[in-house]
């Protein structure tokens, strides 16, 4: 989600105070966070290979680097005559370095159409199919009032040259933990399902984000969200943000599947009382053969620090963006793509490499043929996040163009990229100029059909035996709405014990409570919320509250300020995350069973002291909960 501009003033204040400490932040890599499992593994050595190494079964495609290359002063590895193992792995590439180069500036897949209002399709997730077709998912504006972002889908039958019509395939679920926004998509396919990871929040300012996941048997949905126990209920994050409320949070997931293991990379963006503003990429893993894997993630550590600083090579990271990670089949390396100095006229693409998928090293910038103002990029992979050099590969990114500063007015460009290997790291493109050009107006890139089904409300309040009448609309790519007949809309999913559907397609509640209803028209879907309030409803009274994270496995040297985050359900079923001020105003008290292990402040902020275990208790006027905190060195 790109509403980080909201944080700008806060960030400037914090950075001004903590500048000196921020420059020392590289020392905090050892202070990894482990909410689910023991400390992260140390950096793995380069893999050892032998003639007896067993094929992994990933692919039988081979990679070559036989194209003509410019003279960069870096020796290009020739792998044409090197024996290739059955899975496509070439052991001679293990000690080489990845090199990326764009083959021209590419073409826009989304451009502005002259409205002057914010519109975008950023953060593309691009998947190439075995038949050469391409699926792509994007973050797009929501209704601009109640929902900040949606996720759209397009398909190309010709490898990305032309694209079919667009549709929204994922929207927030009203009354749930993602009800303000869904954005930053990344998709992989495994065992019959497309898994769509995304960023979501209930915060009005776009802060305190969490990482979620949904799945579908089809690339264009319908998607069912992970609910903590299975699929299809109210969404529950797979990675929670447990920092303070001025932090952007957790999100922007990227997936790679190796055998049956899923690597999940996500952004951590928050604050530390030692280092100031902290931005990093975390890694979690899971066993995909476990049907409940989204609830059983293992925290592996922080893969890279992305805070603004200058490293030992005198390279400066400045507003470095989220990662998209891929697995290279010929070298068994991981490569991560991001942008640096994003949104600015001097922005660039930036890529890293890794032997183990855990620890990454910077390789180089890409400036040549990259348009100024770039941000939120993605790289085309297969269904598992893999790349073979036999496949045509594409880099996609959103951009604002040179001299542009208006938020949300962005185009999206796809450009072909060559990936090969060199003996020494090739950073020749770090001295090159990017493309200083503006966005072009091109209405032809918009689809012709409707993209979203809308309703006059997202949440409806009714009485038992009363009727809920819904007005329906469809929206096109120009964001124009057209009214449609309610009789033509299908009530696709609802709780028959909570309400019934009448002949005139109105809904009739049967009891008090809250339920989600899915409606469908012409392949477009959206969820709405129906609430039936009890007679003694008090919308100012908290019915219950609970923490977003019930178990903490943390370090004494945590890189961010930790906080017990409370979600509260009010008398009218409204879900709200409590700020520190609200925690105090509702007379919620925290206590720790062992202050020598971890202390807790009045607003729920945690301060790990020494290794051990403690129990944090939170008590309000009519509800209470406990959570465990395990502290290690």
Which among 418, 479, 425 is positioned nearest to 454, based on CA atoms? 479
Question: Sign (positive/negative) of CA torsion 565, 270, 27, 16?
Answer: negative
Which residues have a Cβ under 8 Å from the Cβ of 514 and sit 6 or more positions away? 175, 529, 530, 531, 532, 573
Confidence band, pLDDT 50/70/90 cuts, at residue 466: confident
The confidence score (pLDDT) of residue 405 equals 80
The model's pLDDT over 74-92, given as tens digits with 9 standing for 90+, comes to: 444 444 444 555 568 899 9
Order of all β-strands in the sheet with 210-216: 181-190, 193-201, 210-216, 224-225
Quick check: 479 and 147 in contact, CB under 8 A?
no
- Segment 531-546 mean pLDDT: 88
With a cut of 50, say whether residue 581 has pLDDT above it: yes
Inter-residue contact 511 to 462 (CB < 8 Å)? no
Nearest to 485 by CA among 497, 503, 475, 473: 473
For residues 593-604, average pLDDT: 96
Per the CB < 8 A criterion, the answer to whether 554 and 33 are in contact is yes
Burial of 248 (0-12, 13-18, 19+ CB in 10 A): buried
More confident residue, 116 or 586: 586
Residue owning tokens 């100031």: 276
Q: Read off the pLDDT of residues 11-49 as tens digits, 9 standing for 90 and up.
A: 433 333 343 333 333 333 333 333 433 223 333 333 333
The pLDDT value recorded for residue 27 is 37
What pLDDT does 538 receive? Answer: 85
Q: What is the pLDDT of residue 84?
A: 52
| Least trusted range by pLDDT, from 20-29, 118-127, 339-348, 559-568 | 20-29
Q: What is residue 389's predicted lDDT score, i.e. its pLDDT?
A: 73
Report the range of poorest mean pLDDT among 55-69, 390-404, 595-609. 55-69
- Answer positive or negative: Cα dihedral of 32, 335, 427, 404: negative
From 65-69, 543-547, 591-595, the region with the lowest mean pLDDT? 65-69
H-run or E-run covering 13:
helix 8-22
Contacts of 604 (CB under 8 A, 6+ apart): 563, 564, 565, 566, 580, 583, 590, 618
Cα distances from 53 to residues 85, 89, 90, 262, 392, in angstroms, run 9, 10, 11, 22, 28
Q: Tokens for 236, please give them.
A: 């529950």
Distance from the Cα of residue 279 to its chain's centroid: 14
Segment 399-449, tens digit of pLDDT: 999 998 889 999 999 999 999 999 999 999 998 999 999 998 898 898 889
Neighbouring-strand partners of residue 375:
398
In degrees, rounded to 5, the angle at the alpha carbon of residue 355 between the alpha carbons of residues 353 and 360 is: 45
Give the bridge partners for 125, in sequence order. 137
What's the average model confidence in pLDDT over 97-109?
96
pLDDT band at 484 (very low <50, low <70, confident <90, very high): very high
Burial (CB count within 10 angstroms: exposed 0-12, middle 13-18, buried 19+), residue 633: exposed
For 407, the 3-state DSSP assignment is coil
Helix (H), strand (E) at residue 302 = strand 298-305
Helix (H, G, I), strand (E, B) or coil at 440: coil
pLDDT tens by residue, 2-17: 444 444 444 433 333 3
Cα dihedral 264, 269, 275, 281, rounded to 10, equals: 20
**Confidence (pLDDT) at 88:** 82
DSSP string, 360-397: -EEEEEE-TTPBTTEEEEEE-B-TTSEE-TTS-EEEEE
Q: What is the mean pLDDT of the chain?
A: 87
pLDDT at position 39 is: 29
Domains and CATH numbers, the chain: 3-44+74-445 (2.115.10.20), 450-532 (2.60.40), 542-632 (2.60.40.1080)
**Listed residue (269, 250, 350) closest to 307, CA to CA:** 269
Round to whole Å and give the CA distance between 250 and 460: 30
DSSP state of 621: S
Q: How far apart are CA 249 and CA 11, in angstroms?
A: 14
Long-range contact set of residues 493-496: C-beta below 8 Å, sequence gap at least 24: 493/517, 493/518, 494/518
């Amino acid at each position: 989600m790109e509403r980080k501009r909201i944080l700008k003033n806060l960030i400037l204040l914090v950075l001004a105070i903590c500048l000196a400490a921020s420059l020392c932040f590289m020392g905090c890599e050892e202070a990894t966070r482990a909410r689910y499992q023991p400390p992260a593994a140390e950096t793995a050595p380069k893999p050892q290979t032998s003639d007896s190494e067993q094929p992994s079964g990933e692919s039988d495609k081979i990679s070559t680097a036989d194209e003509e290359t410019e003279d960069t002063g870096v020796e290009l590895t020739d792998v044409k005559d090197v024996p290739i193992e059955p899975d496509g792995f070439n052991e001679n590439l293990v000690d080489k370095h990845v090199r990326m180069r764009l083959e021209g500036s590419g073409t826009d897949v989304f451009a502005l159409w002259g409205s002057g209002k914010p519109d975008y399709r950023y953060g593309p997730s691009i998947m190439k199919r075995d038949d050469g077709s391409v699926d792509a998912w994007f973050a797009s504006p929501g209704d601009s009032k109640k929902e900040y972002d949606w996720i759209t889908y397009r398909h190309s039958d010709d490898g990305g040259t032309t694209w079919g019509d667009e549709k929204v395939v994922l929207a927030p679920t009203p009354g749930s933990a993602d009800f303000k926004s869904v954005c930053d998509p990344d998709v992989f396919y495994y065992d019959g399902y497309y898994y769509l990871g995304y960023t979501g929040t209930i915060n009005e300012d776009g802060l305190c984000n969490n990482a979620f996941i949904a799945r579908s048997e089809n690339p264009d949905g319908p998607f069912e969200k992970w609910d903590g126990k299975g699929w299809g209920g109210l969404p529950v994050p797979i990675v929670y943000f447990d920092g303070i409320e001025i932090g952007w949070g957790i999100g922007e997931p990227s997936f790679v599947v190796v055998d049956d293991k899923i690597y999940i990379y996500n952004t951590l963006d928050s604050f530390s009382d030692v280092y100031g503003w902290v931005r990093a990429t975390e890694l979690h893993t899971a066993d995909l053969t476990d049907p409940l894997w989204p609830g059983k993630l293992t925290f592996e550590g922080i893969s890279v620090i992305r805070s603004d600083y200058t490293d030992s090579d005198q390279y400066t990271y400045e507003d470095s963006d989220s990662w998209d990670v891929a697995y290279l089949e010929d070298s068994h390396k991981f490569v991560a793509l991001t942008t640096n100095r994003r949104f600015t006229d001097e922005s660039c693409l930036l890529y890293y490499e890794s032997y183990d998928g855990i620890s990454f090293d910077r390789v180089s910038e890409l400036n040549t043929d990259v348009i100024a103002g770039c941000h939120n990029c993605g790289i085309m992979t297969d269904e598992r996040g893999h790349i073979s050099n036999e496949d045509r590969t594409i880099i996609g990114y959103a951009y604002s163009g040179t001299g542009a500063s208006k938020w949300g007015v962005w185009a999206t460009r796809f450009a072909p990229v060559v990936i090969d290997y060199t003996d020494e790291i090739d950073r020749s493109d770090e001295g090159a100029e990017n493309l200083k050009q503006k966005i072009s107006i091109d209405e032809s890139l918009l689809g012709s059909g409707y993209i979203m089904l809308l309703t006059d409300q997202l949440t409806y309040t009714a009485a038992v035996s009363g009727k809920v009448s819904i007005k329906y609309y469809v929206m096109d790519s120009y964001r124009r709405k057209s009214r449609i007949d309610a009789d033509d809309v299908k009530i696709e999913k609802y709780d028959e014990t909570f309400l019934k559907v009448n002949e005139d397609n109105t809904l009739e509640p049967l009891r008090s409570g809250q339920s989600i209803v899915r409606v469908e028209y012409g392949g477009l879907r959206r969820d709405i919320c129906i609430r039936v309030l009890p007679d003694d409803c008090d919308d100012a009274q908290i019915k219950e509250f609970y923490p977003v994270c019930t178990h903490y496995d943390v370090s004494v040297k945590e890189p961010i300020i930790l906080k017990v985050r409370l979600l509260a359900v009010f008398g009218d079923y409204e879900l709200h995350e409590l700020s520190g001020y609200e925690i105090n105003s509702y007379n919620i008290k925290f206590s720790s069973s062992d202050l020598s292990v971890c202390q807790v402040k009045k607003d729920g902020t945690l301060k790990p002291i020494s290794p051990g275990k403690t129990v944090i208790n939170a008590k309000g006027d009519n509800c209470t909960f406990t959570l465990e905190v395990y502290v290690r060195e």
